[in-house]
Chains A and B, each alone.
Chain A
Amino acid sequence: MAKRLVPIKPVYGLGAVSAALILLLTLGTLAAVVTRAEGVSALRPADWAALRFTLWQAFLSASLSVLLAVPVARALARRQFFGRSALVTLLGAPFILPVIVAVLGLLAVFGRSGILSTMLGWVGLPPVHIYGLHGVVLAHVFFNIPLATRLILQGWLAIPAERFRLAASLGFDNADIQRVLEWPMLRAVVPGIFMVIFLLCMTSFAVVLALGGGPKATTLELAIYQAFRFDFDLGKAALLAVIQFGLCAVVAVIAWRVATPAGMGAGLDRTVERWDTSNPVLRAQDFTVLVFAKLFLLTPLVVIFLKGAGAVWTLPDVVWWSAFRSVLVALGSAALAISLALSLALLAVKLGQKRTAGFVEGFGYLTIAASPLVVGTGLFIMIFPFARPSDLALPVTAIVNAAMSLPFALRALSPALRDIENDFGRLADSLGLSGWSRMRLLILPRMRRPLGFAAGLAAALSMGDLGVIALFADPESATLPLQMFRLMTAYRMGDAAGAALVLLALSLCLFWVFDRGGRVDADT
């Protein structure tokens, strides 16, 4: 059906180039590691135990994140209140925090000497014991509820106001609206979101170790790290990475099968008005949900703020310089992520509805399923014969960070693009709008919101990441997370807390500027 759309030829070429780049970064780097492997060593029983734990915790974390995010997104979708947009931005913060900062923030709330345990102590109850599977899941839920909420909220906002007007005129009550409008929307968006979070939790490892309480909580990613760092067994690292890809492929296919497009149709971009949600029970329900979400997500952030605020003004200059470098990397990474995602989404739309979904999910998942260690090492093996890897530290960081935020960018852009082509494609065709003018007059203006969101997320994610740079780092070009880590290894925990606060503030700022930029004066 979408085959008739032939708007911009060169863009398809760009799409193909982007696809090739992603393949190179994910499967190409894996192949590079394989070329340097000396035989494959067998998996030990411990590796199988790690595999089981990896899947189980990822399943629990993703399920809970999505289940808890639905009421939060619903409350945000149907309530207007002062500070709502600031809240939406702030709620995104946990997702972009560096792991180590988030863990210390969570422990300050849920740890043995944390706020919660102290309060329990007042009423004579024992402290919370956070370490174990439940701690891992709690941390993953903390990281991922914001992401799930934002993505589900987008689904809600994509239901045109006309549908709610029609529902109201047909006398639908809240239960009818849930059944007819909200449930089909969730059915379309939730499986993909579950999948993204599942994969993110699968490849996590520092947080799993710190809160897991011991070797019972071991993920495949730790086994990969061990194979690289301690055994230097590239064959085993590659084998584990292949298993990780395989598992992701299986889960991706399941998610793709479960998801069904909602088909809400076009609207006139009126402001959504809800007539069904004024009853006091629903109000109270939304209010409670939002209060709990705020407490859970914002208290650790407040702690991070309080811990860092004292040290920010006395931070050494080098920290500010690395902050500056990180912002540059983040901007580059955001621009790249948007170009990659937009060109891939344009290519995907051309491929048609069902295949589009598969294509988008496929490329998106590929980059999260890739182990950051394998990507870093593979790139190093590829670059080393031609150039000094340290000279390329910052560009490589920007490219890899862009690839890592691709799944989110694609998820934001591609449904929007598909809707535009479905709803306005025929009109544009009949007007003879094609090429860059179609892009400029139709697509980009209508995509400002998802573009801003995707760019903001990519920039913010790039700020916090230090995954692949370990092999490339150069003392002169440290990014802010690396600098924070250096402060910690030099015992300067206070300064590190200050640096963490700067990092948090800059990430939020970047996200806010882009996200807001996409919404200001936007007609959609």
Chain B
Amino acid sequence: MLHKQKRLKVKYLNSKGKMIKKYSRYLPYFLIAVMLIWHSVLYAQQMRYPRPEFETQYTYPEYQYNYQRAPYWEYLDVAVLIAALSITSWLVIKKRSRQGIMWVSVFSLAYFGFYRQGCICAVGSIQNVSLALFNSDYSIPLSALLFFLIPLIFALFSGRVFCAGVCPLGAIQELTGFKKVKVNPKLEAVLGAIPYVYLGLAVLYSAVGSQFIICRYDPFVGIFRLGGPYTIIIFGALLLITGIYINRPYCRYLCPYGVLQGFFSRFSWKHLTITPAECRNCRLCEPSCPYGVILPSDNLKNTEVTEIGRKMKLIYGALILMMGLSLAYFFYNTAPLLARMDKRVSLAREIRLEKEKGIKAVSEAAQAFNESARTEEELFEEEVAVINRFRAGAPWVGLFLGLSLGIRFYRRIIRHPRTEYEPDRGRCVSCGKCFEYCPVKIKTE
């Protein structure tokens, strides 16, 4: 192999006197090279072919970029949200108008659902908040934060009015549920536990920066957008068809935001009441609620209600704590399994399987990894880091699930007998279907 410039240097040995001539030949190239170095940054891209120098009057075409609606419109959404919540609160608590709530539902479905296409949504905002709380490098869009907070603030004042008619997911089910099939209370209780798990996992997956599972499995977004992954559209359609008979299945058996709404609604300042005045225990309202959340007054005949002693309360407390801690420990152990849903972990697993067992890694991610400059060490380190994040987060999910289930039982153990018919504040979505069943009317001036 020969290297030209070297030859120049050794020319003095087999000198034929051409050296100076040779050098001067390169001078213009050298100057050009110096000039080009100046531009070298410009061409650092893979410019295999030079930019054409057009001789005709050719001008570069405009980029075909187009733009979305102006960004500040998101604040209109917040304003609409506040207005809709205020109107619904008034309709639920003061006006007691089922008709009105229905019209708000129609509006919300049209605006938040079909016009805004199901995004921005309070249900999904849980994930933005949890990601922002546990990750210093993520900053949350202000509108998402407001969409998370405002409905909860309203829940603290007037119950789940957001669910009643503002949430587009609730609205679409509210408008399509016109038959009432009662669900067995035991089944209802079992299915009703799913949202807690869903909430726990959604917070976990977003807190560790893995993925937004609520958005991934949002059943109605495909319907709002009139398109999308067909598995989700079919799931949404099935849910809606079910909802005709078993009303609001998503709200009752899936919605994670409903769990939070329930917490706040339990302690709300005002809440929907079945009767505008005093309950006569006529039992007329009993079949009116499709969700089975009307708590009947107790049959107190032949029963002696006994107070529970301090000692028993301590035992129950210990049991609840045990439930929480057991589940926390269970989830701690499950963390690596939960982490497998993470794409970084599943990629690392795929690469490791390829290395150890010779199973060819074929996924797009594996191909992209092989093309990238990342090393396997980096990938495996990241995998361990992700699993450790899951390990740190998962016990809290378990603790939350155990404690909330325990407290649910405990509340029933210590509860006082009811003398009136009242809605279960945690589960009632303030739809107002019970209004017209109550025979008690107050005279309005």
The answer to whether A and B belong to the same complex is: no
